[in-house]
Amino acid sequence: MRRNVKASWIGVALALGIALAPDVARADASAWAFAGAGALAWKEGTAALAPRAAFNFDYGVGTSPDGSFIIGGLARLTPVIDEGADLSLLARFATHGFQAGKVGVAVDVGGYQRLWGTYSRGVAGGLTLGLPLGFSIGVQGLYGTGDALAFGAFAGIDFLRLTVYRQSMLDAWPNPYPAHQTPAATASFGTSPRFF
């Protein structure tokens, strides 16, 4: 019996030592905070396509930025000037180059809900080219009930890709708190971009 008590205390001490021992842990996630503007054409029912200016706001999170591919979720708000706003919930598939602030692509696919005009919901998607310093250009579209259709092009900046996820121009503008590990060989602006 005495031996079991001694073994139990050794087990408890060992478990506490492992649980309380400090160590480096990395559980970073990707994130996006994009704001932009552009032009789109939209219609409902049998009406003709109408051009409009629109804003675009994306907020989302994804898997580790250290991977070759990042998968995540995204909420997109698209206010259409003089009309209203469309709200989309999308799955995002992005390359490492997109997230690291170099050059890469992201594909978004999901559903939308129209919050103005004739009630409509359906599918939405987009293709975004990520450029250095968080700049992005892309195309988006949606199709839904009531023969709702919209497509357009947007440009803007992703503030998280500009700051914490940026891995370009580090020689001229250091990133003091990067969200992911920076390989020494790819830390400068002059190297070839990593797409995957």
Buried b (16+ CB within 10 A) or exposed e, 124-161: bbbebebbbebbbebebebebeeebbbebebebebebb
Q: pLDDT tens, 141-191? A: 999 999 999 999 999 999 988 888 888 788 888 877 777 665 554 444 445
pLDDT band at 125 (very low <50, low <70, confident <90, very high): very high
Tell me the two tokens of residue 9.
């205390």
pLDDT(20) > 50: yes
Question: Residue 35: its pLDDT value, please?
Answer: 98
Question: Residue 156: its pLDDT value, please?
Answer: 98
Q: In terms of C-beta distances under 8 Å and separation of at least 24 residues, what long-range contacts does 51-54 make, across chains too?
A: 52/80, 52/81, 52/82, 52/83, 53/80, 53/81, 54/78, 54/79, 54/80, 54/81, 54/152, 54/154
Count the Cβ atoms, other than its own, within 10 Å of residue 74: 22
Mean pLDDT of 124-134: 95
DSSP assignment string, 110-176: EEEEE-SSS-EEEEEEEEEEE-GGGEEEEEEEEEEGGGEEEEEEEEEEEHHHHTTT--SSTTTS--S
Tell me the two tokens of residue 185.
């060989």
Q: pLDDT tens, 77-86? A: 999 999 999 9
Mean pLDDT of 102-118: 92
Nearest-Å Rg of the Cα atoms of the chain is 23
Question: Residue 118: its pLDDT value, please?
Answer: 82
Question: Residue 7: its pLDDT value, please?
Answer: 64
Cα–Cα distance list, 128 to 10, 94, 179 (Å)? 56, 9, 21
Question: Residue 65: its pLDDT value, please?
Answer: 86
Question: Residue 123: its pLDDT value, please?
Answer: 98
Residues above pLDDT 70, as percent of the chain: 83
Q: What is this structure's pTM?
A: 0.77
Residues above pLDDT 90, as percent of the chain: 56
User: Which amino acid does the sequence have at 35?
Assistant: A
Average pLDDT across the chain, whole number: 85
Domains in the chain, start-ordered, CATH in brackets? Answer: 30-184 (2.40.160)
CA distance 133 to 112: 29
pLDDT(192) > 60: no
